């Protein structure tokens, strides 16, 4: 039954009681944000399979807090190309950026996680995906390296490594990844993605970004033995899981990822390895406020 406590005509009323789905424009075409189907479903297009959130999960950019994916505007689908073989910019795809599921449909997300809602939660019902210029991606660096290797694959022609953004950081395939048990369930430790993946169900992922840092070392999060995933303390039977730093869970992987020798990794923790210590010292202890330049003017970042 409709929730009568919601203001009639509000965005929350339209979404929750009227069943209207949020929409997003991607390169000129409208998609429905359908979290029940776990995808962006193209409007008035029954040929395209749409964009499945499961297929693009490795294209989530945690720094941007958004998905950044290669997209075929003709087929209106996600299109994953092998950048290691590209020698020129592709003509059939573009790179688009759009918000995560929570921001696209806070009602659908909170329904899924049994959270309460208020009228203030729903800020908008239509979104616009951003088309990124190629210069903002790492594709050009890949192409330069591929062309250089084809012309003269010698040491002096090696181009700088591509940026660690936009395209998935390859999972370490040269060795078996370590595992860690969370209340009896075995999870694969993937330091490239900074996540735990259930060994028996790889779609079940617990990301570092969803964990809380402990005071000294390690992380913790509320864990559901029923779903074997994240939950809140309010769920009956929820358990507070605690895991070590990633340098302890997979020291070999962290050494490879950060290009340091394995004998040095024992003396490090995640904070020392992943945080710029000089910048942290300036911000935390010397009172220096970070700044950002926007169109030639400097802004202070004041949380």
Which pLDDT belongs to residue 173? 64
Which pLDDT belongs to residue 146? 82
DSSP-based three-state secondary structure for 68: strand
- Tell me the mean pLDDT in the region 179-184: 96
Q: Is the pLDDT of residue 264 over 70?
A: yes
Q: What is the mean pLDDT of the chain?
A: 85
**Residues in the chain, total:** 303
Residues 202-215: tens digit of each pLDDT: 889 999 988 998 87
Q: Is the pLDDT of residue 96 over 90?
A: yes
State the Cα angle at 182 between 229 and 212, rounded to 5°: 65
Which pLDDT belongs to residue 3? 60
Which pLDDT belongs to residue 162? 46
Instruction: Give the 3-state secondary structure percentages of the chain, helix then strand then coil, rounded to 5.
Output: 25, 25, 45
Q: For residue 3, how far is the Cα from the chain centroid?
A: 33
Q: Which of these ranges, 115-129, 189-203, 285-299, has the smallest mean pLDDT?
A: 115-129
| Higher local confidence (pLDDT), 69 or 276 | 69
Which pLDDT belongs to residue 158? 44
Q: Is the pLDDT of residue 143 over 90?
A: no
- Tell me the mean pLDDT in the region 147-171: 53
- Tell me the mean pLDDT in the region 99-111: 90
- Tell me the mean pLDDT in the region 132-141: 87
Of the pLDDT bands very low, low, confident and very high (cuts 50, 70, 90), residue 250 is very high
Which pLDDT belongs to residue 242? 95
Which pLDDT belongs to residue 149? 74
Strand pairing of 23-26 and 66-72? unpaired
Compute and round to an integer the Cα radius of gyration of the chain. 22
Task: Supply the pTM of this predicted model.
Answer: 0.49
- From residue 239, alpha-carbon distances to 117, 189, 214, 254 in Å are 25, 20, 16, 28
- Tell me the mean pLDDT in the region 124-139: 91
Percent pLDDT > 90 in the chain is: 44
- Tell me the mean pLDDT in the region 34-46: 94
Which pLDDT belongs to residue 163? 44
Q: Which of these ranges, 94-108, 233-247, 260-274, has the smallest mean pLDDT?
A: 260-274
Which pLDDT belongs to residue 217? 87
Report whether 166 contacts 59 (CB < 8 A): yes
């Amino acid at each position: 039954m409709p929730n009568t406590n919601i203001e009639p005509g509000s965005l929350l009323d339209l979404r929750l009681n009227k069943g209207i789905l949020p929409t997003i424009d991607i390169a000129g075409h409208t998609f429905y944000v359908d979290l029940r189907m776990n995808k962006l479903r193209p409007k008035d297009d029954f040929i395209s399979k749409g964009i499945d959130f499961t297929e693009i999960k490795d294209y989530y950019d945690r720094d941007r807090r958004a998905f950044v994916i290669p997209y075929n505007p003709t087929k209106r689908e996600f299109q994953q190309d092998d950048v290691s073989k590209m020698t020129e910019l592709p003509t059939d795809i573009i790179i688009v950026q759009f918000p995560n599921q929570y921001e696209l449909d806070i009602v659908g997300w909170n329904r899924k996680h049994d959270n309460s809602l208020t009228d203030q939660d729903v800020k908008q019902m239509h979104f616009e995906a951003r088309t990124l210029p190629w210069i903002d991606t790492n594709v050009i660096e890949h192409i330069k390296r591929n062309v250089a290797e084809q012309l003269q694959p010698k040491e002096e022609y090696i181009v700088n490594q591509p940026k660690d953004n936009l395209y998935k950081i390859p999972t370490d395939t040269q060795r078996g990844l370590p595992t860690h048990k969370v209340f009896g369930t075995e999870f694969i430790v993937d330091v490239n993605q900074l996540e735990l993946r259930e060994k028996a169900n790889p779609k079940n992922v617990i990301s570092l970004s969803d964990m809380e840092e402990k005071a000294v070392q390690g992380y913790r999060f509320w864990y559901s033995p029923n779903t074997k995933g994240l939950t809140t303390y309010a769920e009956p039977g929820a358990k507070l899981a605690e895991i070590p730093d990633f340098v302890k869970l997979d020291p070999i992987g962290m050494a490879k990822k950060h290009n340091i020798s394995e004998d040095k990794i024992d003396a490090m923790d995640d904070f020392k390895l992943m945080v710029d210590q000089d910048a942290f010292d300036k911000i935390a202890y010397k009172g220096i406020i970070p700044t950002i330049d926007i169109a030639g003017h400097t802004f202070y970042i004041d949380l």
